[in-house]
């Protein structure tokens, strides 16, 4: 069975026509076996568990039981989402043998929806990175060009979807870690509003910024996944008790008249010419469909990267303090006293980028510097949110590039952390403001690399994003949908 270009909707239709969930799962496992040796998207593939889930779906269907909305659909999971009994490594030596005693809320929701969980995907260690090169185990490669990065930190999930190994996956987005890989890999990725999806069972990087989000081959795939995983969870104190709309129904409910805000700060120096051309063509598509295009300003955009790397590293320093070599995780085999054991365990367990961010975060929280750096960053974060509040009084959605360039080559930015950090310059602000944002493919470079366009909406307006993104998706030339690695 050829499933490498099937969407969730396609696979549901195939099952209605008599194809079994087990056949679909076998086909997905076959794609993983054929392709993942080159791409390295997966940390662990749980073939037997996936087949058992698929057979359970087929048995429920034979008995005439009501099936969940994702029945028989293969889904990949980023390796920072806990599932009881499975390894959850965060692509770190610190957790290389960790098996959590509980399951993340979003995985519970997927299993209740009868999804088939295929395994865990590679990522930047503890979600700290933009290229999936910071994994302690191996880099993941972009299916469109194996010499290039799939983005990060959810690069494994994005590459698995783009390469046709699974139709959809879950990632996490702290500063663009779902949307930037989606743009680099030519798929759709959504960062929901902060509080829309429970973070229970998501290994924390920066708790005020992290959010679980879906990646899929279409806008409808992401809408279907969000429909399942969204909703209040009392185990997460930041989860908002708010009703979840019918996102699939809202795909065809585009409200008009529509005003699209285009931030002048997103079309400044550093933006690749081919990316700008494709994004401006996307803006013209909405204009041709009757939207009003309005230039707007987000004046604190220039401060977003600095603010993000103060707040995120401070929270990372606090969250990662629990990995001390005593309770769980890596413990040095060398004998020594308590402090020496702490130091050696953390030195051996953490990679270079994680250490860099822990040190930065510890510095900005230290006595004499907290007010000058961390507290000041929180104040500017508030100004960034107020920029969006003002903009949304003038427009319904904000539109611009997802990334300043197409996918860069592996190793190209490894020696220049600032250049790597700037690859998230357009995505970071949505996390700081807590608003939803979606990336979808809008074209290709002359060399055949995907380009992504980003839409941002007010707090809890994911349905609006889906409707506008779906209208755009229908207008795009979708003929080039298979990466070169698929032949």
Is residue 177 part of the annotated active site? The answer reads yes
Q: Would you call 78 a catalytic residue per the annotation?
A: yes
What tokens appear for 284 in the block? 């013209």
**Strand (E) positions, 264-344?**
292-296
> In 154-274, at which residue ranges do the beta strands (DSSP E only) sit?
168-172, 188-191, 212-216, 259-263
Q: Closest by alpha carbon to 263, among 278, 279, 285, 274?
A: 279
Question: Which one from 131, 149, 153, 157 is the annotated catalytic residue?
Answer: 153
Catalytic residue among 4, 157, 177, 423: 177
How does DSSP assign 350-388, residue by residue?
S-HHHHHHHHHHHHHHSTTTIIIIIIHHHHHHHHHHHHH
Task: Name 108's Cβ contacts closer than 8 Å, sequence gap at least 6.
Answer: none
Told to judge if 218 belongs to the known catalytic residues of this protein, a careful annotator would answer no
From 4, 78, 109, 172, the catalytic residue = 78
Contact between residue 405 and residue 471 where contact means Cβ atoms under 8 Å apart: no
Separation of alpha carbons 458 and 454, rounded Å:
14
Tell me the three state secondary structure of residue 168: strand
Neighbouring C-beta atoms of residue 432, cutoff 10 Å: 27
Structural contact between residues 178 and 154, judged by C-beta atoms closer than 8 angstroms: yes
Pairing type for strands 168-172 and 212-216 reads: antiparallel
The candidate with the shortest Cα–Cα distance to 448, out of 152, 2, 143, 141, is: 143
Active site residues: 78, 153, 177
């Amino acid at each position: 069975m050829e499933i490498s270009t099937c969407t969730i909707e396609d696979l549901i239709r195939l099952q209605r026509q008599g194809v079994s969930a087990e056949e679909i799962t076998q086909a997905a496992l076959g794609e993983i076996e054929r392709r993942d040796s080159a791409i390295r998207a997966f940390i662990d593939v749980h073939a037997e568990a996936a087949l058992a889930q698929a057979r359970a779906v087929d048995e429920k269907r034979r008995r005439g039981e009501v099936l969940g909305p994702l029945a028989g659909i293969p889904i990949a999971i980023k390796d920072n989402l806990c599932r009881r009994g499975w390894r959850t490594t965060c692509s770190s030596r610190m957790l290389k043998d960790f098996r959590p005693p509980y399951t993340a809320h979003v995985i519970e929701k997927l299993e209740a929806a009868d999804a088939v969980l295929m395994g865990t995907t590679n990522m930047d260690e503890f979600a700290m990175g933009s290229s999936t090169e910071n994994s302690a185990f191996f880099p993941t490669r972009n299916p469109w060009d194996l010499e290039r990065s799939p983005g990060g930190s959810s690069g494994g999930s994005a590459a698995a979807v783009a390469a046709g190994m699974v139709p959809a996956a879950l990632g996490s987005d702290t500063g663009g870690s779902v949307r930037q890989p989606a743009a680099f890999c030519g798929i759709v990725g959504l960062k929901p509003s902060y509080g829309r999806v429970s973070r229970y069972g998501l290994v924390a990087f920066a708790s005020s910024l992290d959010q679980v989000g879906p990646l899929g081959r279409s806008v409808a795939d992401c809408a279907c996944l969000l429909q399942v995983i969204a909703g209040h969870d009392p185990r997460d104190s930041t989860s908002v008790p708010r009703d979840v709309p019918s996102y699939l129904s809202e795909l065809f409910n585009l409200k008009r008249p529509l005003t699209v805000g285009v931030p002048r700060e997103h079309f400044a120096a550093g933006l690749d010419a081919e990316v700008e051309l494709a994004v401006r063509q996307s803006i013209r598509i909405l204009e041709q469909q009757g939207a009003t295009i309005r230039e707007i300003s987000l004046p604190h955009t220039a401060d977003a990267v600095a603010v993000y790397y103060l707040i995120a590293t401070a929270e990372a320093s606090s969250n990662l303090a629990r990995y001390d070599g005593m309770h769980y995780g890596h413990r040095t085999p060398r004998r020594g006293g308590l402090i020496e054991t702490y130091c050696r365990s953390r030195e051996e367990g953490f990679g270079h980028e994680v250490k860099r961010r822990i040190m930065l975060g510890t510095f900005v929280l230290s006595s004499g510097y907290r007010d000058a750096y961390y507290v000041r960053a929180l104040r500017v974060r508030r100004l960034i949110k107020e920029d969006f509040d003002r903009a949304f009084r003038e427009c319904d959605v904000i539109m611009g590039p997802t990334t300043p360039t197409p996918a860069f080559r592996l190793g190209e930015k490894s020696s220049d952390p600032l250049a790597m950090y700037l690859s998230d310059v357009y995505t970071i602000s949505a996390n700081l403001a807590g608003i939803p944002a979606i990336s979808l493919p809008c074209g290709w470079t002359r060399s055949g690399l995907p380009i992504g366009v980003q839409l941002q909406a007010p707090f809890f307006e994911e349905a609006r994003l889906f409707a506008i993104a779906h209208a755009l998706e229908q207008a795009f030339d979708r003929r080039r949908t298979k990466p070169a690695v698929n032949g």
